[in-house]
Structure 1
């Protein structure tokens, strides 16, 4: 779960803001200024359904709280299917993501779809089925701190990401931590996230050189883990749920907002973006 710095030249496959500060990536945008207070101030995510597609979520973890529904993707000789489950988390990763979402949007509804097994094991087919199920349930926000490198799943993932986009299910997807091709974070229909190393746990930045769109806290952060514990860890995985939590807060405040509107709000409210209202001049 380490994060590498994007290369200065060539295609950027892995993103983390190491060795740079927010001052290194200033952006001037046109439009109406949007402040964090306008975007999500006073909102706690109440009424928004957030689904964590991951390794499961530990029930009753003090930093996670209530899990409103837990499901698992099963693959056997009968095929692949999703079933309700009483099991928790197989490796801690999903609990960490759920805890960050809960901290950011404390009153959202949290759901879990387990697609990873012990030792972070999983397949592209199971990931695709779990994501498809979450999109079909029309969750407001889907946190996907996972990706697949398998090329045979790219077309199906792209179509599913587009379906979510047009159906107003916001997929917030983690960039890979190593310089390899993976999906679906590279699709423009999702909100893609890398990590920064700043100490401010509420700071997020827009990346002036996508495909990764946002940097959020994810390096040397404290997260919930198995057994009611916490650990300190690093990875784009843990920046992603912060952005998912912000998305939940915005959608709770503006429930008719589309995914492309949400992206624009996040862009204009980012700490390194200064909006120039040129139309008022």
Structure 2
């Protein structure tokens, strides 16, 4: 990546970038499902899936596209943020969470393997997977990095035994919530989490066609996923470490 690309990417406003001719980017949302009938998401969700039991094993099952696949409301909010910021995002909905916003951690791993197989370029994970799954999750994130598939993951809102997995891994782009201006980003100098952006009191789509207000790292994360989607639409050959360089350059420019 040339210094001119870094400079241009750091200087371009996201609204300006969004109006340029961008290549489409496949974006997987591993979450509680997405309501593809919501007006903000109409025509933006190109596949829908759920992870369910099959012959005693969890497997990814295809669903009709264009349905309300959201069991809780979390995934629709996440997908809505991506769709609003990045007009070139082609959203793939993979439901792993239930009506309580809980899920078998193995289901997230099954979904992750599905995304790797489909070669979807961006993966939004606004969730944390238990430390018991650290080793298989680490291997999947390393595989994504080697395939140039970019994982953007949320820090835990409330620390338990870790900052949040896979957010702790260097092979992903990790996101915290911080009170900064909308569509700006902060670089975190210390610790395992690298970037922060606004995730407070965001008005987001809700299943059924309405809107709600959400706060948390889950909703800061898709903002950065959307930023990366815009960059990849303009410069499709960018690698994960180059996206991190651009994000840091934008953070530095805002100081």
Q: Report the TM-score, using the length of structure 2 for normalisation.
A: 0.88
1:119 counterpart SS class: coil
Corresponding residue number in structure 1 for 2:196: 215
Deviation digits for residues 132-173 of structure 1 (CA, Å, limit 9, x no counterpart): 21122111100000112242x101000100100111110000
Question: Superposition pairs for residues 116-155 of structure 1, below 5 Å?
Answer: 116-151=97-132, 153-155=133-135
Residues 1:179 and 2:145 aligned together: no
Moved over 6 A (4+): none
- The structural deviation recorded for 1:38 is 4.6
2:220 counterpart SS class: helix
- The structural deviation recorded for 1:76 is 4.7
Residues 1:197 and 2:179 aligned together: yes
Residues 1:113 and 2:94 aligned together: yes
Report the Cα distance in structure 2 between the residues aligned to 1:207 and 1:268, rounded to whole angstroms. 13
2:48 counterpart SS class: strand
1:91 counterpart SS class: coil
- The structural deviation recorded for 1:48 is 0.5
Q: Of the two, which has the highest radius of gyration?
A: 1
Corresponding residue number in structure 2 for 1:36: 10
1:120 counterpart SS class: coil
Residues 1:62 and 2:42 aligned together: no
Aligned residue among 216, 219, 234 for 1:238:
219
Aligned residue among 133, 136, 141 for 1:156:
136
Aligned residue among 73, 84, 87 for 1:92:
73
Residues 1:83 and 2:61 aligned together: yes
What RMSD in Å do the two structures reach over aligned CA positions? 1.9
Corresponding residue number in structure 1 for 2:30: 53
Q: Report the TM-score, using the length of structure 1 for normalisation.
A: 0.81
1:242 counterpart SS class: helix
Q: Which runs of 5+ in 2 are unaligned?
A: none
Deviation digits for residues 171-210 of structure 1 (CA, Å, limit 9, x no counterpart): 0000001111231110000000011123x32121111123
Corresponding residue number in structure 2 for 1:261: 242
Report the Cα distance in structure 1 between the residues aligned to 2:128 and 2:53, rounded to whole angstroms. 18
Does the 8 A contact of 1:206 with 1:272 survive in 2? no
Q: Which runs of 5+ in 1 are unaligned?
A: 1-30, 275-281
Corresponding residue number in structure 2 for 1:17: none
Report the Cα distance in structure 1 between the residues aligned to 2:94 and 2:140, rounded to whole angstroms. 16
Report the Cα distance in structure 1 between the residues aligned to 2:210 and 2:190, rounded to whole angstroms. 37
Larger RCO, structures 1/2 (Cα 8 Å, 6+ apart) = 1
- The structural deviation recorded for 1:112 is 0.4
Report the Cα distance in structure 2 between the residues aligned to 1:140 and 1:125, rounded to whole angstroms. 22
Report the count of equivalent residues.
Answer: 242
- The structural deviation recorded for 1:261 is 1.1
Does the 8 A contact of 1:218 with 1:234 survive in 2? yes
